[in-house]
Amino acid sequence: MTKQEISIGERVFRIYLDESQIQARIRELAAEIQEQYTNTELVIVSVLNGAFMFTADLLRKLDIPCNLNFIRVSSYSGTETTGQVKTVMGIGDNIAGKHVLLIEDIVDTGITLKELLRQLEAEQPASIRVCALLVKPEKHQVPVHVHFPGFVIPDAFVVGYGLDLDGQGRNLPHIYQLKS
Ligand code: 5GP
């Protein structure tokens, strides 16, 4: 049975999106993505750590040839962004001339996405599109465009399904929202 509330340290979270809602939306996203890349070989760049579970589920539903790479960045401390994006691990493969789909867990201020796009564009791919499981438009501080958004959500901290609070909660199959 789905837990309606969970605690991480002192903080209490309530259920926001359950596993079946997430998986249903991922099936739709996979269909939308497939439609856009019919005759092209796709290079997926997944952003660690948060997007690992989303990437695994999305890729299993994508029935097109694709190559998978990971990039690792860090910018958060607790529930607040530091505004400084650190690339902890870069992508190994050459993406010049390739069609790239960047997979993010959540776009909040947009600062991470903007910096990632800057780094990837410098390698001159043929195209870059962005797929993010969650998007918080109210929190955007820089203009960013998400081509394939999973869910548009309000400004509240979430955990689960890959997303953490100080390293905890990534293994939860559902997404939980911080209780105010
Ligand atoms: P941004 O640079 O857009 O502010 O934040 C991007 C990164 O911050 C995300 O990839 C994610 O790792 C983290 N982040 C932003 N909002 C949340 C949130 O509500 N919950 C969690 N767990 N991480 C978040």
3-state helix, strand, coil in the chain (%, to 5): 25, 40, 35
Q: Which amino acid is at 176?
A: Y
Q: What is the pLDDT of residue 80?
A: 64
Over the stretch 144-162, which tens digit does the pLDDT of each residue have?
Answer: 999 999 999 999 999 999 9
> Could you tell me the pLDDT band of residue 62, with boundaries at 50, 70 and 90?
very high
| Residue of 16, 163, 170 best suited for mutating to test ligand 1, as the one with most atoms within 8 Å of CB | 163
Residues 111-130: what's their mean pLDDT?
A: 94
Q: Which atom of ligand 1 is nearest to the CA of 47?
A: 10
Q: Which residues contact 136 (CB under 8 A, 6 or more apart)?
A: 106, 107, 108, 152, 153, 154, 155
Which CATH number, 3.40.50.2300, 3.40.50.1820, 3.40.50.920, 3.40.50.2020, labels domain 23-73+83-153? 3.40.50.2020
- Tell me if the pTM is above 0.85: yes
Q: Which of 11-25, 61-75, 117-131, 152-166 has the lowest mean pLDDT?
A: 61-75
57 among known catalytic residues: no
> Could you tell me the pLDDT band of residue 47, with boundaries at 50, 70 and 90?
very high
> Could you tell me the pLDDT band of residue 83, with boundaries at 50, 70 and 90?
low
